[in-house]
Amino acid sequence: MINKTLLICLTALLAHRMCTAQTNNLSTKNKKAIELYQQAESMLKGRERNFDGARDALYKAIEKDKNFIEAYEKLAFIHLTLKDFERAKNAYLKIAELQPDNPKYVNSYFTLALLYQKESDWANAKKYFDLTTKHNPADKKIAEEAIRASKCCTFAMQSIQNPLQFSPRKMSSKINNFFLQAYPFLTGDQQTLIFYVIRTADKKERGDIMISNFENGEWTLPVSISDKINTPMDEGIATLSADGRMLVFASCERPDGLGSCDLYVSYKEGNSWTEPQNMGSNINSPNWDSEPSLSADGKTLYFTSERKGGQGGLDIWYSQLAENGTWTKAKNIGPIINTKGDEASPFIHASGKILYFASKYHIGMGGYDLFFSTKNDTSWSEPKNLGYPINTAKDESTIYITPDFKKGYYAISEDSKGMRVQPTYLYEFDVPDQLKQPYASTYSKGTIYDAVSKAKVRARIELIDLATRQTIQSVQSDNVTGEYLLVLTKGTEYALYVSAEGYLFKSIFFDYKNPSSFNPLTLDVYLEPLKKGASIVLNNIFFQTNSWTLEEKSKTELDKLVVFLKQNESLSIEIAGHTDDVGNEADNLTLSDKRAFAVYEYLIRNGVNKKQIQYKGYGESKPAVPNTSEENRAKNRRIEFKIL
């Protein structure tokens, strides 16, 4: 696919060359050749231009004079207009042969370079880009692009010498049964796939969002995601939160739209989607807004926009969901990622650490290339090209990488002359080892229940990094099914909290610093109603070995407990300390009592009414499980929280 820069160049060349040349300025003196050239010029005037006739006349003119350079020029732009790139290249080659180093023909050298680049002939492309630069073209855009494109050619030649192990596989005919399918996106458990389709090549055809589920080892036949979402309008690129319950999608020309295309949001409740809502002026602009990508928990949205205030061309923007449920004013992601060219198709990995995107300006193979950048606290690293043969001289602009970095999905267009849109198909591939990152993720999913009635509960599930005390994810279980899904990423220790009004919160500890097993978890959670006798284990309170000194990472859980008790001042509770059976029984009793007191003291110091709390150590007298293994003994070393 010819890139936008080439199209701009060709348009300028066409407008320039359509001007009638003065006969006395032509390179030929052959009267018959000049007459045929003038006939061609006449055929190219007016609205009804006769390209075929002009082309034939120019070929006859060249037969009269093999060195008639103006005839080759006019032939070149006719072939470009007709998208006959091979003949256009041959015409420009003849110009370069006749005038191998002449500033007058700098635009021809540049266009020849672009045509070689399109064919992945990077050596010849670089030759003519460098020749363009040598003659310092008056058009500053061409001058700048020639320098950048030469660097791209050098990069491409180096990349093909070190190709990735990459073997994309076309997905099944069940998935690829439309004219165009693109922008694949999967849920965190990789069991649901959504993607954008155009059903036929009809110019009036509008886009829809399709959904397929992975069942019995294969993808089911795609169906419309919902009649509430797909309409006679153009529904486009879509993204899901990791649990598959929040959908953001682009739609164009809707009555409530703020621009040509806007972003909309819908939520899944049980098996149904809510009526889509325009995401509002904090996200949408009077311009084109599309290509959304949600973070795993649905709290950060990345998207593409051509609004004013960016770095130039298409830019990537982002917005965050505030605590009050509103989206913040969209911000430009910044000049490290965005350039004066076009950046598009953002995809944020489930870990939240890697942003994939397409760019026409960062150094690549030509056209759109795919890149990635790593998030470092609040900044992004310098983007890296994904490499060859993921990237080629064609446009590569969409990608999805699974949370575990094992698989990827993307779209490949097939060249088809004369079509407004190229037929495009979805492919899957094994992620090359060179592209695997240290932020591999898995997931935990299950259902939240009332521990007594076994009714399904809508609860809040929070995942907190114990080292930084930052909330990594915060999701809600489905208010109909009680189901939840959240993403767990390697590299840290996590506290998981499940809470709902009228229940004791539940705490769970995950050590994913160097996990021996990194498989998905099925974890159902049973919440204890707030009533006398209800108790929970505080799984994220940690002490130094054989000591009652609280570790710093305990503060997350302790602060949760402070808030809970302040919100429930009528409750009276006991903090109970327990040990395993290793060591002296009396020493264990003392240790458990002092550990319970350490928790009690922290709560009082942070404003909890001391009348609410008692504390007591039970030593090894009340094991939760038999002390028959190190794993069981670890379970018996615990702090419990009980309603009196």
The DSSP secondary structure of 277-296, one letter per residue, reads EE--TTT--SSBEEEEEE-T
What pLDDT shows up at residue 516?
A: 75
Name the CATH superfamily, with its identifier, for domain 440-529: Immunoglobulins (2.60.40.10)
Q: What is the CATH number of domain 533-644?
A: 3.30.1330.60
Structure tokens at 64: 């009269």
Q: In the CATH scheme, what architecture does the domain 4-161 have?
A: Alpha Horseshoe (1.25)
d(CA 574, CA 641): 6
Q: What is the pLDDT of residues 207-244, one digit of tens each?
A: 999 999 999 999 999 999 999 999 998 998 999 999 99
**Proportion of the chain above pLDDT 90, given as a percent:** 87
Average pLDDT over residues 239-259: 95
Query: CA 448 to CA 478: how far, in whole Å?
Result: 9
Residues above pLDDT 70, as percent of the chain: 95
Q: Convert the pLDDT of each residue in 370-382 to its tens digit.
A: 999 999 888 999 9
Task: Give the residue among 250, 234, 175 at the shortest CA–CA distance from 424.
Answer: 175
Q: Are 616 and 577 in contact (CB under 8 A)?
A: yes
Residue 589's closest CA among 548, 627, 635, 551? 548
**pLDDT at position 19:** 47
Q: Does the pLDDT of residue 540 top 80, yes or no? A: yes
Instruction: Specify the higher pLDDT residue, 17 or 398.
Output: 398
Structure tokens at 427: 């492919």
641: left (phi over 0), alpha (psi -120 to 50) or beta: beta
CA distance 639 to 644: 16
Burial of 559: CB neighbours in 10 Å, binned 0-12, 13-18, 19+: middle
Rounded to whole angstroms, how far apart are CA atoms 206 and 253?
11
Please tell me the predicted confidence (pLDDT) of residue 17: 46
Helix/strand/coil for 454: coil
Cβ contact 307:280 at 8 Å: no
Mean pLDDT of the chain: 93
Residue 4 has pLDDT above 80, yes or no: no
Structure tokens at 12: 């300028």
- 3-class secondary structure per residue, 95-113: HHHHCCCCHHHHHHHHHHH
Task: Report whether 579 contacts 637 (CB < 8 A).
Answer: yes
C-alpha–C-alpha distance, residues 237 and 345, integer Å:
9
What average pLDDT does range 163-168 have in this prediction?
96
Q: What are the sequence ranges of the domains in the chain?
A: 4-161, 178-428, 440-529, 533-644
Runs of H (alpha helix) within 44-170: 51-64, 69-81, 85-98, 106-118, 122-134, 140-161
Backbone φ and ψ for 351, nearest 5 degrees, come out as -70, -20
pLDDT digits 0-9 by tens, 329-363 = 999 999 999 999 999 999 999 999 999 999 999 99
Question: Nearest to residue 499, comparing CAs of 489, 491, 507?
Answer: 507
Q: At residue 374, what are phi and psi to the nearest 5 degrees?
A: -105, 135
pLDDT in tens, 100-149: 999 999 999 999 999 999 899 999 999 999 999 999 999 999 999 999 99
Q: Any idea of the CA torsion for 552, 553, 556, 558, to the nearest 10 degrees?
A: -60
Q: What is the mean pLDDT of residues 611-629?
A: 96
- The pLDDT of residue 8 is 47
Torsion of CA 450, 451, 452, 458, to 10 degrees: 0
pLDDT of residue 417: 61
Strand partners, 213: 192
Name the token pair of 385.
């090209």
190 closest CA partner among 370, 386, 345, 405: 405
Give 9's DSSP letter: H
Whether the CB-CB separation of 384 and 337 falls below 8 Å is answered with no
Beta strand residue intervals within 388-545, DSSP E: 399-401, 407-413, 424-430, 441-450, 460-465, 471-476, 483-489, 492-499, 506-512, 521-522, 525-527, 535-537
Q: Give the residue with greater pLDDT, 422 vs 187.
A: 187
Q: Which residues, in sequence order, are CB contacts of 212 under 8 Å at separation 6+?
A: 174, 175, 192, 193, 194, 219, 220, 221, 222, 223
pLDDT for 420:
62
Q: Identify the pLDDT of residue 419.
A: 62
- Reported in sequence order, the residue ranges of 503-630 that DSSP labels E, i.e. its strands, are 506-512, 521-522, 525-527, 535-537, 573-578, 613-617
**Could you say which of 2.120.10.30, 3.40.50.150, 1.25.40.80, 3.30.365.10 is the CATH number of the domain covering 178-428?**
2.120.10.30
Least confident interval from 406-415, 497-506, 568-577: 406-415
Please give the Cα distance from 32 to 63 (Å, whole number): 10
Mean pLDDT score, 556-567: 96
Q: Once rounded to an integer, what is the mean pLDDT over residues 394-411?
A: 94
Q: How far is CA 524 from CA 403, 447, 479, 613, in A?
A: 21, 5, 15, 30
Digit-coded pLDDT (tens) for 487-498: 999 989 999 999
Which of the four pLDDT bands, split at 50, 70 and 90, describes residue 25?
Answer: confident
pTM of the model: 0.90
**Stretch among 173-182, 199-208, 377-386 having the lowest mean pLDDT:** 199-208
* pLDDT at residue 589 is higher than 90: yes
**Mean pLDDT along residues 465-486:** 94
Confidence of residue 2 (pLDDT cuts 50, 70, 90): very low
- pLDDT of amino acid 518: 84
Average pLDDT over residues 602-631: 96
Residue range 531-545: average pLDDT? 95
Helix (H) or strand (E) holding 602: helix 585-605
Cα–Cα distance measured from residue 579 to residue 590, given in angstroms and rounded to the nearest whole number: 10
- According to DSSP, the β-strands at 573-578 and 613-617 are parallel
Mean pLDDT, residues 446-470 taken together: 96
Does the pLDDT at position 51 exceed 50? yes
pLDDT-derived band of residue 273, with 50, 70 and 90 as boundaries? very high
Contacts for 595 with CB less than 8 Å, ≥ 6 apart: 543, 548, 577, 617, 639
Lowest mean pLDDT among 5-9, 155-159, 544-548: 5-9
